[in-house]
Amino acid sequence: MTTHNLQHIAFIMDGNRRWAKQHSLPIAAGHKKGAETLVNIAKAAKNAGIKYMTIYAFSTENWSRDINEVNALMNLLRSYLDSGFKELQENDVKIFFIGERYMLAEDIVQKMQKIEQETADNKSVTLCVALSYGGRQEIVAATRKIAQKVKEGTLNIDAITTEEFASNLYTRDIPDPDLMIRTSGEYRLSNYLPWQTAYSEFYFSKTLWPDFDEKELTSIIKEYTRRERRYGKS
């Protein structure tokens, strides 16, 4: 499949809870099915020649959900960190995490670091997992880093450019998303990559994430190739 200039797709994987309710299943079952979809879509992205994929796995706002659901999500995360990402590792996928790690349990952070180390040399696809992530929080954190540099005298205030700012974000080592896909029929960013998606193309799918598949991804990529990206130019 030709993807033209499409290097990086960002996903908001929405609809796990609604999928579970539609199937009269516990919410945790929806999240489990959604995690399985992630593995399938990551492999499909690799087959389509996509080099980068960023997913919104858990936001800073999600911590305010029902404690039982949060605990179930954290336990599912533990399971996938132990074995669920193995298939992606075997498919030459590099995995790294962005977000507020201090909010996560220590054993989870250690598992994240282990996966990052084990997949560091993989090259086919880079999967960036936004976990305990908030876009505004990321911008504030970057601003603090820059302010500290200015305070220490290692950065002149006149040298603060968009490029300098971007180099202090969590995503500094990967290109900005060309395309952002949100599933489940919602039409908002929800504090997800607000800086990085400034010139991204957007696609909103009515499909609930657990039902999202390679066929729909292929259709969206074809739609993307028909768009003309102007980057703010007329």
Rounded CA separation 96/112 (Å): 8
- Domain span holding position 83: 8-134+176-224
Rounded CA separation 148/8 (Å): 31
Using one digit for the tens of pLDDT, what is the confidence trace for 31-57? 999 999 999 999 999 999 999 999 999
Q: Give me the residue label for tokens 């980068």.
A: 52
User: Mean pLDDT across the stretch 186-202?
Assistant: 96
> What residues are paired with 127 via a beta bridge?
53, 95
Residue 167 lies in a domain: no
Residue 155 lies in a domain: no
Residue 210 lies in a domain: yes
Total count of domains within the chain:
1
Active site amino acids: 14, 62
Residue 21 lies in a domain: yes
Going by pLDDT thresholds of 50, 70 and 90, the confidence category of residue 189 is very high
β-pairing verdict for 179-182 and 93-98: unpaired
Residue 81's CATH number: 3.40.1180.10
Residue 154 lies in a domain: no
Residue 68 lies in a domain: yes
pLDDT value of residue 84:
76
pLDDT value of residue 4:
56
Residue 128 lies in a domain: yes
Residue 164 lies in a domain: no
Stated pTM of the model: 0.92
